[in-house]
Amino acid sequence: MKKVIPTTNNHNKGKLQPNWEGPYLISRMVNCNAYYLLNSDKEELKSLKNIMNLRKWNQCQQDTCI
């Protein structure tokens, strides 16, 4: 499984607020563009997420994080 982070889809926030939430795990693929995600409790989210609203999550090393 891959870890991903979806967009927050909250357009009423300030520019310094995070644009992404997560990370989540991909639980299953519906087609090449739509995925179901698992939260940190391994529960599947009810809504599908389009690939355009996901990006790969990369965990940074302790000494390189800001």
Q: Please give, one letter per residue, the 3-state secondary structure of 3-14.
A: EEEEECCCCCCC
Q: Is residue 36 part of a domain?
A: yes
As a whole number of angstroms, the distance between CA 56 and CA 1 comes to 11
Q: What mean pLDDT value characterizes the chain?
A: 81
Q: What is the number of domains present in the chain?
A: 1
Q: Is residue 10 part of a domain?
A: yes
Residues 24 and 3: beta-carbon distance below 8 Å: yes
What is the residue-level pLDDT of the chain in tens, covering all 66 positions?
566 767 766 666 677 777 778 899 999 999 999 999 999 999 999 999 999 989 888 877 555 655
Q: Is residue 34 part of a domain?
A: yes
Q: Is residue 20 part of a domain?
A: yes
Q: What is the CATH number of the domain that holds 22?
A: 2.30.30.140
Q: Is residue 61 part of a domain?
A: no
Nearest in space to 19 (alpha carbons), one of 2, 29, 7: 7
Q: Is residue 25 part of a domain?
A: yes
Position 50 scores a pLDDT of: 93
Quote the domain boundaries for residue 43. 3-56
> pTM of the entire structure?
0.68
Q: Is residue 32 part of a domain?
A: yes
DSSP E strand stretches across the chain: 3-6, 24-31, 34-38, 49-50, 54-56
